[in-house]
Structure 1
């Protein structure tokens, strides 16, 4: 994912929005039982267990990036979901929140190798990437569990410009792409629906 426009908020605001989005999504993860782990998710290649393993790894990777260690491949490696997947996810949420809180400058470089060899981004933009991921991944988990997803409106207002700034195109069809090609929104479009369709998710999933 590469975003060409500046984020619509300063470091403190995007960091606060990210922390709130992560906490909101973690409430759904906390409701996951062992019997839920095989459920399908809107990330079609992943079961719920695999999605949680990915989300946990991304928290750890971004925490490493905030600490200046994001260039280490092992920081981003997803491990198989174990029996303590919910506790492991909660610990990773705490880890990334603490790491982001310690960042003192919006220009501090974050190494994000998943964007390409040697890729780095200023902290403000990198945390914005994390924020939009976890707004959407929170929805993924909620939908997998069949639960309604309604983050505070101000979080969606902050997330929408970032979602719309993610370039669309055939590169989203490549293996490992974070998002699928954008979908056309239908009917009266809520901010959440605009975010989801911009990033290739159907608000009606699994319908």
Structure 2
């Protein structure tokens, strides 16, 4: 299975999670710092739009990456923006030599090879899908779906393992925290989460 097919699979799994979000749940906390579930979903839709624009040749203009409102239909907003992104990636991949993408959050907007950019977004999609799932309850269905797909799990682990992990890269306010030790019985998804500093045992605080 190609990387683009795996990326599409990651979006499908994430969309299945987002589809379950109810409007009253948008205020729930998430593992992403002080982001509410609404803010996280708006970030995801904004990232879809930004990556789609980059795949279509746009420069690293932060305006193109702004969070996008999800209103009362987070599943619809996610799926619509994901479809635009999938189409943009397909257009870029159809070129004899796909052009690098200009991503403002990476290399200060410098060119990122196309396949590496797709891998980055696959990682972002699955990890944030887990963030959404764990905000709603146990994320077992999502983690099992990835763990049972060797190609997808392998791609996720490969990208997670390549994310810089130096002190400056994992400082407070960065996208990922310091690498955590994974449980010996952890599956591929939980090992990837540990590489990125996520706590697989995270749960919504009890009030």
1:42 and 2:42 correspond: no
Q: Which runs of 5+ in 2 are unaligned?
A: none
Deviations 1:34-63 (A, max 9, x none): 111011111122111010011011110000
3-state SS of 2:105 partner: helix
CA RMSD of aligned residues (A): 1.8
1:164 and 2:161 correspond: yes
State TM-score, norm by structure 2: 0.87
Aligned residues: 195
**1:77, distance to aligned residue in structure 2 (A):** 0.8
- Alignment partner, residue 104 of structure 2: 113
Q: Which runs of 5+ in 1 are unaligned?
A: 1-11
For CA contacts below 8 A with separation 6 or more, give which structure has more relative contact order: 1
**1:189, distance to aligned residue in structure 2 (A):** 2.3
- Alignment partner, residue 135 of structure 1: 126
State TM-score, norm by structure 1: 0.87
Q: After superposition, where does 1:163-182 map in structure 2 within 5 Å?
A: 163-170=160-167, 171-175=169-173, 177-182=174-179
Contact residue 21 and residue 74 of structure 2 kept, 8 A: no
Deviations 1:39-92 (A, max 9, x none): 111112211101001101111000000000142221101134423333222211
Contact residue 62 and residue 70 of structure 1 kept, 8 A: no
Runs of 4+ aligned structure 1 residues displaced above 4 Å come to: none
